[in-house]
Amino acid sequence: MTRPGLWMSAAMPEMPEVETIVRHLLRAIRGRTVSDVRLSGLPLRRPVDDAFAAVLRGRKIAAVRRRGKYIVLRLEPPGFALIHLGMSGRVLYRESAYPPGPHAHGAITFTDGSCLEYRDPRRFGLLAAGEGRSIPELRLLGREPLGRSFGGDWLWRSMSRSRRDVKSFLLDQGEIAGLGNIYACEALFHAKIHPARPCRTVTRQEASRLARSIRKVLRAAIRNRGTTFSDFAASDGRPGGNQRFLRVFQREGRRCRRCRCLIRRMRQSNRSTYYCPVCQS
């Protein structure tokens, strides 16, 4: 397979979107050696540490992987760099580092002259790096929903211990790493569970259904290369196609595809939750 040339990821930062980006990135930059790192100097979610440039410079990209919503660059000699896209982060890979685009806050240039640019208008993202193999930011993350250890039994046991409602449990990155607002809403619809249900009222059978729904919804989204609402993407970073398959998210006032009643929106901890009042109980 040929290496991708110029491309840009759409901004869309839940797990299936990050997974899509990581797959492209792996093909684009694995094996390349970093020659230089430039930063805008503006703070992201927190200020970008000087270590970011210092650690990357002169090292080789040994691997690119995903953990939760984080993009992890494994470096050789051993080190790591982390990219978190926040709400509006994108990565752009191209042959040349110049000219930097709007809202470019980080640019990693490789010895062949190509460049990985990080753009983030809202600056909710994160760039971090460190020595060695252990990554503090990832230590508190919960289970990977597509991993072996994630299933109905584990979900039911964890939920039984929680006093929260189901939706906010699903969004907690310390419980399940990677679910965000879209796929939490979609999984709850698929499992026919009301988002405001207290976790402890969820039965073992429902938890097992929910676990299957989460995996199903995420797998489908990854197959479709993620959900894209209004974002540009070029060549290999073409936009995702999953928006055609959304059942509730951003469908307030439209008909439920299952029962034909109207989809509703409510606020839960200051974020929109979309659900079907008939199908989900």
Catalytic residue, candidates 59, 69, 94, 225: 69
123 belongs to the binding site for DNA (CB under 7 A): yes
Q: Is residue 139 within the footprint of DNA (CB under 7 A)? A: no
Q: Among this protein's residues, is 43 annotated catalytic?
A: no
Q: Does 165 bind DNA (CB under 7 A)?
A: yes
Q: Is the dihedral of CA 191, 195, 196, 199 positive or negative?
A: positive
Rounded to the nearest whole angstrom, what is the least distance from the CB of residue 44 to DNA in the complex?
Answer: 9
> Does 13 engage in binding with DNA (CB under 7 A)?
yes
**13 noted as active-site residue:** yes
Is residue 60 annotated as part of the catalytic site, yes or no? no
14 is a site residue for DNA (CB under 7 A): yes
Binding residue (CB under 7 A) for DNA from 102, 132, 136, 253: 102
Q: Does 27 participate in binding DNA (rule CB under 7 A)?
A: no
Q: Should residue 136 be labelled a site residue for DNA when binding is judged by CB under 7 A?
A: no
Write the DSSP assignment of 237-255 as a string of letters: TPPP-GGGG-SSTT-TTSB
Closest listed residue to residue 30, CA positions, set 68, 77, 82, 65: 65
Contacting positions for DNA (CB under 7 A): 10-14, 17, 43, 45, 68-69, 84, 86-88, 102-103, 121-124, 161-165, 168, 171, 173, 180-182, 226-231, 240, 265, 268-272
Q: Which residues are catalytic?
A: 13-14, 69, 271
